[in-house]
Chains A and B, each alone.
Chain A
Amino acid sequence: MSAKYKLKKWVRSYGYFTSQIMFLLVAVFALLNALSTKKALESVEHSYQVLADIESVGNSFGHAEASQRGYILSGNSEYLDSYKSSLDDLKIELQNLKDRVADNPEQLARVVSIGGILADRITLLDLRIREKQTGNVEIDALGSTAAGNTLTKRLRLHLEELEKVEQSLLAERKQIRESSTEQSGFVVVLATLAAVLLGITSRQIIKKERDDNYQQAKLTSMIIESMRDGLVVVNEEGMFTIVNKAAQSFIGTDVKNILPKDRAKAFGMRNPETNELFDSQELPLARAMKGEHVHEMEVIFKNKLHPDGVLCSVTGMPLLNEANEVTGAMATFRDISKRKATEQEWKIARQAAIEASKLKSEFLATMSHEIRTPMNGVLGMSTLLADTKLNSEQFEFVNIIRKSTQSLLTLINGILDLSKIEAGKLSLDPAFFDLREMVSDTVELFRFAAAEKKIKLTMNVSFESGLGVFGDSDRLRQVLVNLIGNAIKFTEDGEVTVTVTNSTASTGKQKFRFEVKDSGIGLTEEEIQKLFVKYGQTMSGVKKGGSGLGLLISQQLINLMGSHIQIESEKGTGSTFWFEVEFEVSKAEYCVVPARSLSSEVFKGSVLVVEDQKVNQKVISSILARLGVECSLADNGQQALELCKSHSYDLVFMDCRMPVMDGYEATEKIRSMPTWKDVPIVALSAEGASGDRERCFQVGMNDFVSKPIEMPVLLNVLKKYLKSSQNQIDENALKQFDEFSKDDDLVLVLIDEYKKAYPESLKQLFEAEKAGNLKELNEVAHGLKSSSAALGMVKVAEICQWLEDAVTPSKQIKSRMQELELEILSAVRILTELKTRKA
């Protein structure tokens, strides 16, 4: 608050009062001053009288002395009479003077001493007169004596002094009188002026305030009247004091005399839920009068003004004085019927949108499923076709079919995933798995693709194998595959680094940070914004091909894991995609072995395939036959049940949905037979939904494969449940290394060397093939064969031998090379597994 404002406030509050006090003070002052002036005047007067007295004493004394001298000189008795009368005067005058100066001890002392001298002088004068009368006189011509003259001189001196002192007193008093009169006049004028000014100012301020208040009141009243919301105010008795126009439009104009208890009825205030009249006590104003704040209570006004009723939202609040006592209440009400109607429309529209979105998701899921079924045939048959005798052109065509089908399948899986995520149907399926192994396998998948683009692919994992984490390894792998795939796709030259580090989270779990860093084209801020938008793709993404679903799905999956993917990127220098996920960890045994292709692996055992569709029967039985597995077929659950009664199988593939008897029922029946308790039954389902999966496990199935069946998945199942007849690795070849192992395991050292070397060899192979340089191809294959054979990789060495022997160009060379790549990956993994298991 500024000093000026404070002053103004003070003047406004106390100014008038102060001015009145000041007037009073001035009056008192003037009175006192007048009294003191009178006193001063009196003292001046007094001084004059003293002076006059002194003069008359002097005169009388002079007169007495002259009369005495006259008598002495002449002897005339007339002089004697005059002398006597002068002495009488002198006596009286001296007494007067004495009385006059009684208030001044100094002067009094002087008068007293003058009296003394005078008495002595008179005694001398009298003595002379008596001497005259007796005739015994000796006097000078002046009739005086020496002693008499001395006394007269002294008397005169004293009188002069007395006069002098009185004169100075008089001067002093005059001075005092004048100055006090001057000062007091000044003070009185000034104080009066100030008091008048103060009084006027305070009056003015108060008047201005009064005007302002009036304006304010007028403005407030205008505002209240122009409000679109109804406003009513009631006093302590609950009677209306303000009812604005808007309020009148709801409750009418003539309302001031309606008692509070009659209002519900008079205004037709009804409960919107029951459409009954409110009890008067329930009304907002009545409640506000009890000190309650009523917030947006919905009330219907149904009266003459609104025969159809109008829905209002009423807010009431008590009006309180400084002591917090209720002195009235106010209420506002607003017509909300339009808003309600809009809300209702919006609700319906929203419901419809949700419905539509759900239908869309369901449609997508159904379509994906419908498309997957025929694709099973395409994929399976083209796989089989590739293994028949084909000329090079035909072989190329088949390969294109397979590749196209594969990418279509990837796309459909993406759409299915996305629609499941949107429908909230995708859930994680956690189990313990070896995280390092999983990451390492995933990175290995890209080893060749990276080498082909001359990209250095590096993996840094801060922990060793054997750390089991509890999570959904398939979904995590899907994310990593997507991120690494993108990194390689968008990097032309440079490096891609996959880093996984762990730390202990506050929850006691382990926090893992996954980071895929590339030195590729990078992203602008705008592009990053678009990345996770559905079907959003950057221009570079469009150029490189792809659906744009991958990142979105990855993000959603990581969201499901309670985190999200983040991006740091700079256009032209590369990008880092990273996320942090928390997992429970265990050093104990974990059960999920990552799925991995082991093509050309040959198994032993007999398998029953229960499948109603002939095409699918054909596909699966052909693949199984190629893998050396004896295969029986059943068209439905009923047939399967019959077969199980008379035969024994090492493994059953069971379609879930079949005519006559479905897979679930058949499984339950099969499981009820005594010798069938432990035989593995694997579900075949085109749904791929986790709900199905749960049901499968409930009825006693061991595993779950979604259709169309993909080779790696099938092989993994076979590997899990059937015995292998042929080892991919010649373990005997490895035994001889044992004695040369020192602190380290020589085989592991060799595997490391092998891992470092083979991507380069593969790259050279593909380059030689592309260039049609068969001699070079033979040589590289020979070198790779040597290394592979040393590590007991029988199957790899066999393919290398085939390539080494190839002397005429053919399309098959390339497919053998692709097979070689897979074989190497799998052989390296098996070798590592063998060694770590031993350790």
Chain B
Amino acid sequence: MAAQKILVAEDSPVDSVIIQRVLTSKGYDVTMTKNGEEAYKKFTEDKFDLLITDFFMPGLNGYELLGRLKENGFSYKAIVMTASKEDEFHLRSLNFGAFDHLQKPLNLHLFLAKVEQALRTQF
């Protein structure tokens, strides 16, 4: 079975390295992007099993990315990450059709568990 493909949108270089390293170590095929626009372009060009996006990015933020994808008729399975503590973000992520929401700094085991869960789940 071919490796499952994950698209990541993350502007923080430190978090990017962490996410890429963790996902790659589990055998996923990871594509990293640095902002919303880049992620949107990649997503429309290729087929991904999962989209992981940071909420807070310069330019197109996480929600705006999901909103634009939805508007243009793309369906996605997404996990949104924020470094903010408010529960409000969690709810808003779900409202935007995200599969799940993660709090930064990432608990890596929880992160991997949620990724796996998301990929397993069939709509």
Contacts and interface: CB of A to CB of B under 8 A. Distances in A.
Given A737-B18, A779-B56, A782-B83, A787 B107 contact: no
Interface string A720-752: 000000000000010011001000001001100
Interface residues of A, number: 22
A369 interface: no
Nearest to B103: A789
Contacts of A754: 13-14
Interface in A748-765: 749-750, 753-754, 756-757
B13 A787 contact: yes
A519 B104 CA distance: 41
A629 interface: no
B56 A782 contact: yes
A62 interface: no
Interface string B1-37: 0000000000111111110011001000000000000
A753 B15 CA distance: 10
A786 B109 contact: no
A12 interface: no
Interface in A763-799: 779, 782-783, 785-787, 789-792, 797
B83 A786 contact: yes
A735 B26 CA distance: 18
B27 to A, nearest CB: 13
Nearest to A754: B14
Contacts of B21: 740, 746, 749
Most buried by B among A737, A754, A789, A790: A790
B105 A783 contact: no
Given A779-B56, A783-B12, A749 B17 contact: yes
Interface string B89-123: 00000000000000011111100000000000000
A787 B25 contact: no
B76 to A, nearest CB: 23
Contacts of A736: 107-109
A785 B83 contact: yes
Contacts of B67: none
Contacts of B107: 736
Interface string B48-92: 000000101010000000000000000000000001100000000
Contacts of B17: 746, 749-750, 753
Contacts of A756: 13
B85 to A, nearest CB: 9
A789 B58 contact: no
Interface in A386-406: none
Contacts of B15: 786-787, 790
A789 B104 contact: yes
A739 to B, nearest CB: 8
Given A740-B21, A746-B21, A779-B56, A789 B13 contact: no
User: How would you classify the secondary structure of chain A's contact residues: helix, strand, loop or mixed?
Assistant: helix
A462 to B, nearest CB: 27
A825 B15 CA distance: 19
B104 A790 contact: yes
Given A740-B22, A740-B108, A782-B83, A790 B14 contact: yes
A511 B19 CA distance: 43
Contact of A779 (B13, B14, B18, B58): B58
Nearest to B106: A790
Most buried by A among B11, B13, B58, B104: B13
Nearest to B26: A740
A754 B17 CA distance: 10
Contacts of B25: 740
A757 B21 CA distance: 18
A783 B56 contact: yes
A785 B107 CA distance: 16
Given A736-B107, A740-B25, A749-B17, A787 B12 contact: yes
Contacts of B56: 779, 782-783, 786
Contacts of A753: 13-14, 16-17
Nearest to A744: B21
Contacts of A787: 12-15
Contacts of B12: 757, 783, 786-787, 790
A756 B18 CA distance: 15
B38 to A, nearest CB: 16
Nearest to B81: A786
Given A740-B25, A782-B84, A790-B105, A757 B58 contact: no
Nearest to A753: B13
A279 to B, nearest CB: 95
Contacts of B106: 790
Nearest to A757: B13
B14 A791 contact: yes
Nearest to B16: A753
A195 B36 CA distance: 124
A746 B108 CA distance: 13
A120 to B, nearest CB: 160
A789 B105 CA distance: 5
Most buried by A among B21, B54, B105: B105
Nearest to B109: A736
A159 to B, nearest CB: 152
Nearest to A761: B12
Given A746-B21, A753-B17, A790-B18, A783 B108 contact: no
B39 to A, nearest CB: 16
Contacts of B84: 782
A332 B114 CA distance: 110
Contact of A750 (B11, B14, B104, B109): B14
Most buried by B among A736, A754, A785: A736
A740 B111 CA distance: 13
Contacts of B22: 740
A380 B50 CA distance: 57
B54 to A, nearest CB: 8
Contacts of B109: 736
B83 A789 contact: yes
B108 A757 contact: no
Contacts of B105: 733, 786, 789-790, 792, 797
A737 B105 CA distance: 12
Contacts of A779: 56, 58
Given A736-B109, A749-B17, A790-B18, A783 B11 contact: yes
A757 B14 CA distance: 8
Nearest to A735: B108
Most buried by A among B11, B21, B54: B21
A786 B108 contact: no
A749 B13 CA distance: 11
B104 A786 contact: yes
A67 B21 CA distance: 173
B67 to A, nearest CB: 19
Which 7 A/B pairs are nearest by Cβ-Cβ distance? A787-B14, A786-B83, A789-B105, A790-B105, A736-B108, A753-B13, A757-B13
10 contacts: A733-B105, A736-B107, A737-B108, A753-B17, A782-B56, A783-B12, A786-B12, A787-B14, A787-B15, A792-B105
Given A736-B107, A753-B16, A786-B14, 13 more contacts: A733-B105, A740-B25, A746-B17, A746-B18, A749-B21, A750-B14, A779-B56, A783-B11, A786-B56, A786-B104, A787-B13, A790-B18, A790-B105
Interface of A: 733, 736-737, 740, 746, 749-750, 753-754, 756-757, 779, 782-783, 785-787, 789-792, 797
